[in-house]
């Protein structure tokens, strides 16, 4: 369930963002909290790693100087550059904690409009400067850092100054929105019109529309149309070869979809600068409940049946016993299914009741604490939601205690789901123990479900090898990737490819499609400056 | 509403297909019926044009001979070649009637599997032979004919021998289906498993899965997911550069979607040979009704409100007064909204009732003859459905009487819909009168509706200039295209681009996307043999 922004939340925040960890610096666990968490995990450090300081990175002068015409858009400030050096994966946080953040960009640019973007690309193309489009910087797949040495310099292109809802078509329920708008900034501008995009990834506060589009983000809805792709009416993309702007259309059969080429292109084909997005009315009717299962396999069957019905729950997330315990949704070893329905048209109590019937037929028991037609969530739902938003901060606290704590996600058809989950638990668990010598926890939840399959999301928690945390994680992830590949489960359902997922992506992608994508890239980015190393070499 | 195949329909038919007109030869109106129809349209011919004969075309020997290894796949029979020379647009039918069908393919090949397709492409690439993938041949946009002279010879690649449902995954509700399966052939193989693809375009009997995928066909559902794109789990495409096979995934965020590049590629990038398609249970609950409106504008508002609700009708087609009269749904000058709901999960009477309430609030009156929870349609719904299936046959009868009778379709956001429809009526009507000197009828229906817009479908009916019917239609269509362009309404919602829609498509497609598509084409089809002239030069 989403982090509903409160009606009086400010559009932008004056709180300080952490350069090395998740979110706001003042929301990080303090040393005492870190120690308390570490005490629960055998083998962690005796005291937390210190919070890293930019001054210790020894950031030098930029390798290039922008021309005077662009100077006012560009910053060479070390704090700014450090905050754009990495995404927010566990391996990024640990590299920062260990003082090895990798290549720091030479410059950070903040264009105010499309012409600025085009001018910056022109200059970078002529100079051989790599350009890394940067939205909220929440990539967990190495999507916003430079690796390699084929370019003279690296420019991080921060889009967040382009954050306005420019135009609203209330009749067609759509809005033209600049790509640099963070989730709360965007929803705050739509709210007075009674409309919402209703795209609520876990990173909602710290990710942008452009980032969602470039990475095919998965959002609010647990069933059906959840990828942001389906909410795109048209897009505007500034490429080195010109501006691509598709028409606003509710549907079209005119050739391959232009938008679908740029959706998921992760900054390699152009810079998405704005999009017309399909909106919805804010829901007036809600109902939610949680269902406990003693048998995870039967819970999977229940979820599949609900996904294959036309009940269309907005939320339908299944937590395994470990995940349910971690989030406080259950402490008795049960799996928990969090169900939520919502509608702007009609009451949804009947749909919830039918879904609960299906769940009971597979051994589920509901706590009876359903909150029909109300905004308040029931206790298990509420517990899960709070934990969901707090999770990345806790991860960083555990990272300071030397723990290896990270997630990975995938999707597969239903026929493969039970064995896939079993084998991930067994083999990734064994890999974590082998790599560290410590007991390991592997939890699973289903974040999104479809009539034909589901998206399992795994959490790994184990004490690391001091100083070798990145290597430990890479070993564990390699084993996870092999299990996914064996089942032909996607290398990513909604975290994107970036640089970290390249090996799995290269195996998954059909070779003729790779040829076509390479050719498209060469046509649109002839100097090869756009996010080098992502998707393609 | 769809042409539900009857449970005892044979999988294939022994009836003879017309080489020059729609469907089965024995279903064509006879001379007396043609005369009766012509009598209703001032200015038509005194007697019908004769049914054309292949013998009169003077079809010569093929310009190339296939190697012995491919000989058993290939036919040079004149009847066969004539039947693969053209699609089924009005301008195709008239060209055949007037003895000017254009370039007849040299050969017709019927591969039995992927290796045959690859071998044929290899040979054609080496010989400079153009290859035109051919499914059911129902293109209405010049998608299956060769125009030009840049190739040594033309091969029509008929996929209909590859028509099996190869594999069914009941758990995930999906099937692997060969691309050459016609609609009834495919549904007939799914029916014993209680499953259905539920894709019912008007051409259902005479079009194939591969054709639907290659043209992004619009199907059964009037709301939400209607384009066949959304039912694709994975695809297999044989290209001159190798076989592209995507993984079976319920959802993925791994780079731009490979399938979405081939969906809508219209045979220019490769030959789609099979796909895993998402299936559904057959509906157990149905309800339908028709609603009359005296005010078309208010009917539009009602339809928009229903489309923006979450009621999700399976059918929601609005017929303007002319269209309602033509189909027999109404004869009193009313517009008629045909509403249908269906579900495999739960009764749908409540959803119909809510939709009818919304319609009444905008001045709609229902005839009360709703057939809830039953398979039988009410009288207006049934009349419309029968007329829908009979329409293409009647068109060919009218064409024999010298009438110009054709349709075109588009989609636009709701804010543009009322003016768009008005201006099409006015300007295209005037163009038809100007081109012919006869009174013209322009009818409109909405075939598909979305929360953000609708797909209007127009019928033009006017007596032609004897011998100049094609030119008359081209003049009318040029005016129609200008009106659509002015409103940035798509050149096609579900009829595809082919060769006829190239001018409009070239204006609509963003230039950087054209560059990327051209580059992808050159990479996958280096000899430029695949459906030359479609989408790209």
Q: CB distance from A453 to chain B under 8 Å?
A: yes
Distance CA B411, CA B492 (A): 7
| Residues A518/B261, Cβ–Cβ less than 8 Å | no
- Measured from the Cβ of residue B237, the count of other Cβ atoms closer than 10 Å reads 31
CATH 3.40.50.2300 applies to domain B165-281: no
Q: What are the angstrom distances between the C-alpha of B95 and each of A12, B100, B113? A: 64, 5, 33
B510: left (phi over 0), alpha (psi -120 to 50) or beta: beta
pLDDT digits (tens, 9 = 90+) for A176-235: 999 999 999 999 999 999 999 999 999 999 999 999 999 999 987 778 788 999 999 999
pLDDT value of position A317:
94
- String of DSSP letters for A332-380: SS-EEEEEEEEESSS--HHHHHHHHHHHHTTT-EE-S---TT-SS--HH
Name the least confident of A114-118, A277-281, B133-137, B324-328.
B324-328
A299 by DSSP, 3-state: which? Answer: helix
pLDDT value of position A5:
43
Q: Which residues pair with B223 in a beta bridge?
A: B449
Section B256-283 average pLDDT: 97
State the Cα angle at A459 between A455 and A463, rounded to 5°.
165
pLDDT value of position A116:
98
- String of DSSP letters for B494-536: SS--TTTTHHHHHHHS-HHHHHHHHHHHHHH-TT--BSTTSS-
Instruction: Indicate the burial class of B370 (C-beta count within 10 angstroms; 0-12, 13-18, 19 or more).
Output: buried
| Per-chain mean pLDDT for chain A | 93
Residue B133 among known ligand-binding residues: yes
Question: In percent, how much of chain B has pLDDT > 90?
Answer: 89
Section B195-220 average pLDDT: 94
pLDDT value of position A372:
46
Q: CB distance from B414 to chain A under 8 Å?
A: yes
Confidence of residue B477 (pLDDT cuts 50, 70, 90): very high
Section B389-407 average pLDDT: 94
Q: What are the angstrom distances between the C-alpha of B42 and each of B159, B440, B465? A: 42, 9, 12
pLDDT value of position B388:
77
In this predicted structure, the answer to whether residue B11 has a pLDDT above a threshold of 60 is no
Distance CA A298, CA A363 (A): 7
Confidence of residue A2 (pLDDT cuts 50, 70, 90): very low
- Just give the CATH number of A285-486: 3.40.462.40
pLDDT digits (tens, 9 = 90+) for B70-99: 999 999 999 999 999 999 999 999 999 999
| Residues B153/B62, Cβ–Cβ less than 8 Å | yes
Residue A164 — φ and ψ, nearest 5°?
A: -100, 145
Confidence of residue B379 (pLDDT cuts 50, 70, 90): low
Q: CB distance from B304 to chain A under 8 Å?
A: yes
Distance CA B436, CA B119 (A): 49
Higher pLDDT, B224 or A293: A293
Q: CB distance from B509 to chain A under 8 Å?
A: yes
Confidence of residue B368 (pLDDT cuts 50, 70, 90): low
Distance CA B20, CA B9 (A): 25
Confidence of residue B371 (pLDDT cuts 50, 70, 90): low
Residue A532 among known ligand-binding residues: no
| Residues A30/A50, Cβ–Cβ less than 8 Å | no
Residue A266 among known ligand-binding residues: yes
Residue B2 among known ligand-binding residues: no
Section B210-220 average pLDDT: 93
How far A447 CA lies from chain B's nearest CA (Å)? Answer: 12
Distance CA A327, CA B23 (A): 61
A270 by DSSP, 3-state: which? Answer: coil
* Greatest CA separation for chain A: 70
Section A508-531 average pLDDT: 98
B252 contacts A497? CB cut-off 8 A = no
pLDDT value of position A327:
82
In this predicted structure, the answer to whether residue B460 has a pLDDT above a threshold of 80 is yes
pLDDT digits (tens, 9 = 90+) for A465-489: 999 999 999 999 999 999 999 999 9
Residue of A nearest to B497 (CA): A254
Confidence of residue A3 (pLDDT cuts 50, 70, 90): very low
Strand pairing of A242-245 and A232-239?
Answer: antiparallel
| Residues B203/B250, Cβ–Cβ less than 8 Å | no
B497 contacts A515? CB cut-off 8 A = no
Q: CB distance from A243 to chain B under 8 Å?
A: yes
Higher pLDDT, A436 or A3: A436
A532 by DSSP, 3-state: which? Answer: coil
**Contacts with A418 from chain B: Cβ below 8 Å:** none
Q: CB distance from A287 to chain B under 8 Å?
A: no
Tokens 């100097």, located at residue? A527
Q: Does an H or E element contain B391, and which?
A: helix B379-400
Confidence of residue B223 (pLDDT cuts 50, 70, 90): confident
Q: Which residues contact B355 (CB under 8 A, 6 or more apart)?
A: B306, B309, B311, B313, B316, B339, B341
| Per-chain mean pLDDT for chain B | 93
Residue A178 — φ and ψ, nearest 5°?
A: -70, 145
Section A155-161 average pLDDT: 98
pLDDT value of position B384:
66
Q: How far does CA B459 lie from the centroid of its chain?
A: 14
Q: How many CB pairs under 8 A join A and B?
A: 296
Section A460-467 average pLDDT: 95
Confidence of residue B13 (pLDDT cuts 50, 70, 90): low
A384 by DSSP, 3-state: which? Answer: helix
B261 contacts A260? CB cut-off 8 A = yes
Of the partner residues B345, B415, B453, the one whose CB lies closest to the CB of residue A310: B345
Q: Which residues contact B407 (CB under 8 A, 6 or more apart)?
A: B140, B457, B458, B459, B460
- String of DSSP letters for B122-175: HHHHHHTEEEEEESS---SSS-SS--SS-SSEEEEEE-TT---EEEEETTTTEE
Residue B160 among known ligand-binding residues: no
Section A332-358 average pLDDT: 94
Name the least confident of A66-75, A420-429, B12-21, B58-67.
B12-21
Question: In percent, how much of chain A has pLDDT > 70?
Answer: 94
Q: How far does CA A139 lie from the centroid of its chain?
A: 7
Task: Determine the topology of domain B25-158 in CATH.
Answer: 3.30.43
Residue B307 — φ and ψ, nearest 5°?
A: -65, -30
Of the partner residues B218, B261, B452, the one whose CB lies closest to the CB of residue A173: B452
A329: left (phi over 0), alpha (psi -120 to 50) or beta: alpha
The residue ranges of every structural domain in chain A are 25-158, 165-281, 285-486
Q: The pTM is what?
A: 0.95
| Residues A244/A236, Cβ–Cβ less than 8 Å | yes
Nearest residue to A336 (alpha-carbon basis) of A387, A299, A383, A307 = A299
Distance CA A400, CA A48 (A): 5
Section A412-435 average pLDDT: 98
In this predicted structure, the answer to whether residue B191 has a pLDDT above a threshold of 50 is yes
Q: What is the SS3 assignment for A103-123?
A: CCCCEEECCCCHHHHHHHHHH
pLDDT digits (tens, 9 = 90+) for A309-322: 999 999 999 999 99
What is the DSSP-derived secondary structure letter of residue B427? I
How far A228 CA lies from chain B's nearest CA (Å)? Answer: 10
In this predicted structure, the answer to whether residue A50 has a pLDDT above a threshold of 60 is yes
B19 by DSSP, 3-state: which? Answer: coil
Q: What is the SS3 assignment for A6-66?
A: CCCCCCCCCCCECCCCCCEHHHCCCHHHHHHHHHCCCCCCCCCCCCCCHHHHCCCCCCCCC
- Measured from the Cβ of residue A516, the count of other Cβ atoms closer than 10 Å reads 30
Section B211-236 average pLDDT: 91
Distance CA A339, CA A303 (A): 10
Q: Which residues of A are known to be catalytic?
A: 457
């Amino acid at each position: 369930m989403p982090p509903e922004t409160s009606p009086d939340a400010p559009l932008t925040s004056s709180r300080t963002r952490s350069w090395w960890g998740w979110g706001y610096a003042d929301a990080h666990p303090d040393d005492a909290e870190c120690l308390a968490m570490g005490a629960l995990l055998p083998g962690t450090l005796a005291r937390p790693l210190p919070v890293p300081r930019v001054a210790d990175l020894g950031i030098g002068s930029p390798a290039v100087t922008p021309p005077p015409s662009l100077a006012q858009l560009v910053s060479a400030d070390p704090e700014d550059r450090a905050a754009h050096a990495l995404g927010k994966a566990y391996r990024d946080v640990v590299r920062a904690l260990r003082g090895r953040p990798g290549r720091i960009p030479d410059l950070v640019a903040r264009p105010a409009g499309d012409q600025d973007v085009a001018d910056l690309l022109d200059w970078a193309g002529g100079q051989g400067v790599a350009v890394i489009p940067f939205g909220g910087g929440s990539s967990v797949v190495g999507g916003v850092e430079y690796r390699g040495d084929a370019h003279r310099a690296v420019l991080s292109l921060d889009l967040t100054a382009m954050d306005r809802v420019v135009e609203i078509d209330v009749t067609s329920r759509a809005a033209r929105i600049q790509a640099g708008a963070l989730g709360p900034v965007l929803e705050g501008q739509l709210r007075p019109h009674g409309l919402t995009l209703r795209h609520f990834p876990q990173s909602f506060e710290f990710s942008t529309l452009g980032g969602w589009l470039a990475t095919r983000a998965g959002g609010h809805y647990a069933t059906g149309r959840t990828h942001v792709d389906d909410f795109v009416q048209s897009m505007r993309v500034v490429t080195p070869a010109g501006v691509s702007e598709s028409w606003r259309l509710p549907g079209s059969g005119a050739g391959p979809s232009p938008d679908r080429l740029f959706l998921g292109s992760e900054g390699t084909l152009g810079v998405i600068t704005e999009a017309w997005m399909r909106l919805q009315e804010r829901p007036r009717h809600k109902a939610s409940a949680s269902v406990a299962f003693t048998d995870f396999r039967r819970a999977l069957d229940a979820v599949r049946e609900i996904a294959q019905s036309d009940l269309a729950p907005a939320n339908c997330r299944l937590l395994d016993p470990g995940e349910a315990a971690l989030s406080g949704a259950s402490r008795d070893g049960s799996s928990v299914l969090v169900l939520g329905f919502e509608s702007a048209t009609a009451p949804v109590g009947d749909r919830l009741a039918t879904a609960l019937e299906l769940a009971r037929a597979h051994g589920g028991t509901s706590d009876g604490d359903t909150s029909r037609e109300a905004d308040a969530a029931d206790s298990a739902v509420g517990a899960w939601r709070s934990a969901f938003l707090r999770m990345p901060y806790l991860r960083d606290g555990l990272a300071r205690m030397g723990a290896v704590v990270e997630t990975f996600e995938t999707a597969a058809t239903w026929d493969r789901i039970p064995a896939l989950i079993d084998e991930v638990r067994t083999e990734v668990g064994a890999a974590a123990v082998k790599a560290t010598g410590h007991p390991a926890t592997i939890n699973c939840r289903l974040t999104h479900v479809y009539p034909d399959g589901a998206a399992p999301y795994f959490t790994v928690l184990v004490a690391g090898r001091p100083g070798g945390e990145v290597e430990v994680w890479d070993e564990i992830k390699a084993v996870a990737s092999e299990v996914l590949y064996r089942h032909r489960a996607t290398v990513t359902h909604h975290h994107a490819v970036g640089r970290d997922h390249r090996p799995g992506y290269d195996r998954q992608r059909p070779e003729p499609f790779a040829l076509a994508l390479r050719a498209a890239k060469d046509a649109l980015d002839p100097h090869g400056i756009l996010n080098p190393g992502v998707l393609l070499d």
